[in-house]
A and B are shown apart, each in its own frame.
Chain A
């Protein structure tokens, strides 16, 4: 097994493994275009969802946590707010 391959050829090798596992190696070119565009659209949607939701989710989780660590009086005030 050859030692350190250059990064572009390693990425190409990874892409070939992806092609073999999802059988896009066997598809005709227009099928490949369809499949990759679907995959990229799904991945893009996933990243967008992460960007929009995760930040808000984390901040509200932290608020809840710091709220429990503070005094009981503060607690009642923050709940009323």
Chain B
């Protein structure tokens, strides 16, 4: 039984989250592996510089050799010598709709991943455990596809203008009204790109003289938006409410750094589900803190909208809270709705302000009409307004798949991070050779997985990330689990020592140096 948190009755359901600590031997061996690869990297770089070996990566021209070097930093070293060796696990081209099963083009490399050639063969029916297809709306046939095809023949596919000029279609108005009703907020606005929603709207909401409190593991779009805004940014430890409270107290007590004036605005940036850890934000506690210290909350529900909650309304419904408590609810349509784009929902004054002042509204082309229709149809399906219970059934199927898959993987002995209810399942691999080996072995067994290493994760904590879908049947999951079991035995990645690690609930102060002390 995992550690269950009941913080003064804020939680109406148990919150099971666990991040098992890295076993010491595994960490040491991972460093050994990286050490060996670094030595060989230096050797190869030496050979490339002295022209013993042909240099296939980008270098400066001969005339520029005396300038400040461009490719000498660690990122480029890692890219040349470590990433190139296992590069065949990424950028794999698929040639069908990314549903529960996908077709992939086969490619080989004759010069150790510097160049790829296609053999011409298509590998069919690979079980897709990597696509963000939580409710299975990535389909090439069905009600969504027919509606989108009809709109395509009516409106075409290009909009050729920004929202503020000539690009505001009646479809966009219909979509925004639907999104507002779905979320339970007063008004909503949609944008053509999910990344741009975050990075272009945070600068419109905060500026200099404001404080942004952002989680350690926030997505690049949130970090970019925060940096572009010019506000002061302070980072709190991942999902750690004691750390957040300490920062809030300091902000209120001390004010701005030099002048000691009170901050104009304090904005807390959190995500619903963190896609690399599979953890869910502690929303009841964040809202309690926000109300106590009178700050604003920006919730990025990119992965959690449609995937959590009994009717798919996201993390706010999952915890049983009111959407009015969250000031800015942001999300994307890429993951659960099978389309592209993002939205921001909130009070009417806020959204009217964003319609005028957002960079994305003023400069970016608005969403394409068939994509809008796909979102409208899928959202109506989830809400049940199209007259069927398909949406509800899919949300329940996803929850069942999540619980089953996570339970079976934990029983097998893998280290799985994150919350019990999140459909993102990271499986820890740690060693660099096992990253490449896992991806290749799973593809040999017709299962497509996404493996992640540095720089998306800390350098020793590389992982394989499974994204579950409502389109996965139990047979597909059983096949996948059988193969994962086999590959896990082959590669010896079953590191779990099955010890229950208690979550940190002690008060956080300067003397606590690390999260887990047992």
A residues touching B (Cβ–Cβ < 8 Å)? 1, 16-17, 19-28, 31, 35
Contact = CB atoms under 8 A, between A and B. Distances in A.
30 contacts: A1-B489, A16-B490, A19-B433, A20-B431, A20-B433, A20-B437, A20-B491, A20-B492, A21-B29, A21-B33, A21-B431, A22-B32, A22-B33, A23-B33, A23-B37, A23-B431, A23-B432, A23-B433, A25-B433, A25-B436, A25-B437, A26-B37, A26-B86, A26-B432, A26-B433, A26-B436, A27-B85, A28-B112, A35-B36, A35-B40
A3 to B, nearest CB: 13
Contact of A21 (B86, B112, B433, B489): B433
A26 B431 contact: no
B40 A31 contact: yes
Interface of B: 29, 32-34, 36-37, 40, 85-86, 112, 431-434, 436-437, 489-492
A34 B33 CA distance: 16
B491 A23 contact: no
Contacts, number: 43
A20 B431 CA distance: 8
Given A20-B492, A22-B433, 17 more contacts: A1-B489, A20-B433, A20-B434, A20-B491, A21-B29, A21-B32, A21-B431, A21-B433, A22-B33, A22-B36, A23-B36, A24-B36, A24-B433, A26-B432, A26-B433, A26-B436, A28-B112
A32 to B, nearest CB: 10
Nearest to A28: B112
A25 B40 CA distance: 13
A74 B252 CA distance: 83
Shortest beta-carbon contacts, A-B, top 5: A26-B85, A23-B433, A23-B33, A25-B433, A20-B433
Select the residue from A22, A26, A28, A31 with max chain B CB neighbours within 10 A. Answer: A26
Contacts of A16: 490
A35 B437 CA distance: 19
B364 to A, nearest CB: 41
B162 to A, nearest CB: 47
A27 B41 CA distance: 11
Contacts of B33: 21-23
A46 B433 CA distance: 27
A37 B479 CA distance: 41
Contacts of B112: 28
